[in-house]
Amino acid sequence: MSILSLLLLFIILSLQWKPLTSRTWIKAGYWYTGSEYPIPNINTALFTHLICAFAYINSSTHDLVLLTSDEPYVSMFASTVKNSNPSVKPLLSIRPRNEYHGNDENSSNFFIMAENPAYRKSFVESSIKMARHYGFEGIDLYATTLLSHYLPELDSVSYPVDSVRKKIDWVHVRSYDYHTPMTIDNFTAAHAALYDPSSPVNTDYGINLWIKRGLPASQLVLGLAYHGYAWTLADPKNDGIGAPAKGMVITKDGSMSYEYIKKYLRSYRVNSEYNSTYVMNYCAIGSFGIVFDDVEAIRNKVAYGKKKGLLGYSVWQVPNDDNWKLSIAAGKNLPQ
Ligand SMILES: *[C@@H]1O[C@H](CO)[C@@H](O)[C@H](O)[C@H]1NC(C)=O
Ligand SMILES: *[C@@H]1O[C@H](CO)[C@@H](O)[C@H](O)[C@H]1NC(C)=O
Ligand SMILES: *[C@@H]1O[C@H](CO)[C@@H](O)[C@H](O)[C@H]1NC(C)=O
Ligand SMILES: *[C@@H]1O[C@H](CO)[C@@H](O)[C@H](O)[C@H]1NC(C)=O
């Protein structure tokens, strides 16, 4: 797909004012404005890169824009992070925006921009300008619905892996949200399965396919989810992963931060079970079934990344941690 390769070329050009030369183990974390989590509270010692999400692409001007309510946070993100830990690299994450549906993505806006040289110029120049203006040291292109979020290809469409290899520092594999209560409501599912013996919808499959298509493992960064999903169990006694369910529960899309899940577990005095088939945890609280990554799953996923020769991991999203437990577990697993 030449459109995307051209775009990738431009992205990398935009990065060249200050190349991300680091090839040490990456411990990246996203901070999303919508979390309302205070930036100074981020434990910056646990990360090598902190990513501010999001700046958006204006679908009429193709410039980068910030939501008015986000501007104060985005503008102080890099300086706050740098003050706390000068060795951390702050990155600005860019996302296409759907003007008609709030902050949802609209990938057609992205392709309209990418296909037109004048629009592209506008996008590239405004991206460099905004990133520099606010002190960011690189740009992250966050575009989950452009294609599949963990595979290099889907049906007949594929990323130009060769261009990605040459022109992009690394790829964040969004290795989670495979199944959520919004997409599967009749059984609990391992939304961030590292392995799945009965389906290709798992992280190991995606990582292997990227490598097979020509992207070195050393340019892949594993995604870690600091959230889980809750379903209503059809039968509270049948509570494993894959247990019959009756739709989402607790929050409006069933998603729960790790911190919130741990709070539930503590207050109901319940422990989570670790399932080594999927490398995920689950727990049942009354008739609620929750599937998520606890310390053990995170540790084993990071160990997988190391063994596979990946470049590191990236966390969506930092504020969902519970007193830094997951970030500490992820960071510790470093047989350098
Ligand atoms: C996009 O640009 C148009 C034209 O300048 C402007 O009217 C609109 O408010 C912008 N949208 C956003 C989200 O900033
Ligand atoms: C996505 O953007 C295109 C072009 O701006 C627009 O025509 C389309 O209606 C949008 N799609 C949705 C779902 O809003
Ligand atoms: C869940 O629903 C899907 C489609 O609605 C169906 O194909 C599947 O068999 C159901 N699974 C279970 C475990 O009931
Ligand atoms: C993980 O969960 C699946 C589905 O509930 C089950 O079949 C499997 O035996 C479990 N694996 C382990 C190691 O407990």
What pLDDT score was predicted for residue 140? 94
**pTM for the model:** 0.90
Whether 124 is in a domain gets the answer yes
Q: What domain count does the chain have?
A: 1
Selection from 163, 67, 52 nearest residue 114 by Cα: 163
Alpha-helical (H) ranges within the chain are 2-15, 71-84, 107-115, 117-133, 161-167, 203-212, 258-267, 295-308, 325-332
- Which two tokens mark 256? 């729960």
What pLDDT score was predicted for residue 1? 31
Whether 126 is in a domain gets the answer yes
Whether 154 is in a domain gets the answer yes
Residue with the nearest Cα to atom 14 of ligand 3?
Answer: 186
Alpha-carbon gap, residue 96 to 106, rounded angstroms: 6
pLDDT in tens, 214-229: 999 999 999 999 999 9
Whether 171 is in a domain gets the answer yes
* Helix, strand, coil in percent for the chain, rounding step 5: 35, 25, 40
Whether 263 is in a domain gets the answer no
Whether 235 is in a domain gets the answer no
Selection from 225, 135, 134 nearest residue 177 by Cα: 225
Ligand 3 centroid distance, CA of 186 (Å): 6
64-79 in b/e burial notation, b at 16+ Cβ within 10 A? Answer: bbbbeebeebbbbbbe
Whether 53 is in a domain gets the answer yes
Measured from the alpha carbon of residue 284, the closest ligand is 4
Measured from the alpha carbon of residue 281, the closest ligand is 4
Measured from the alpha carbon of residue 189, the closest ligand is 4
Ligand 2 centroid distance, CA of 104 (Å): 11
Residue 28 parent element (H or E) = strand 26-32
The domain spanning residue 64 has which CATH number? Answer: 3.20.20.80
State the residue range of the domain holding 131: 3-15+24-225+294-331
Question: Which residues have CB under 6 Å of ligand 1?
Answer: 58, 60-61, 65
Whether 314 is in a domain gets the answer yes
pLDDT band at 5 (very low <50, low <70, confident <90, very high): very low
Cβ of 244 less than 6 Å from ligand 4: no
Selection from 240, 209, 222 nearest residue 301 by Cα: 222
Which three-class secondary structure state does DSSP give residue 314?
strand
Mean pLDDT computed over 276-302: 97
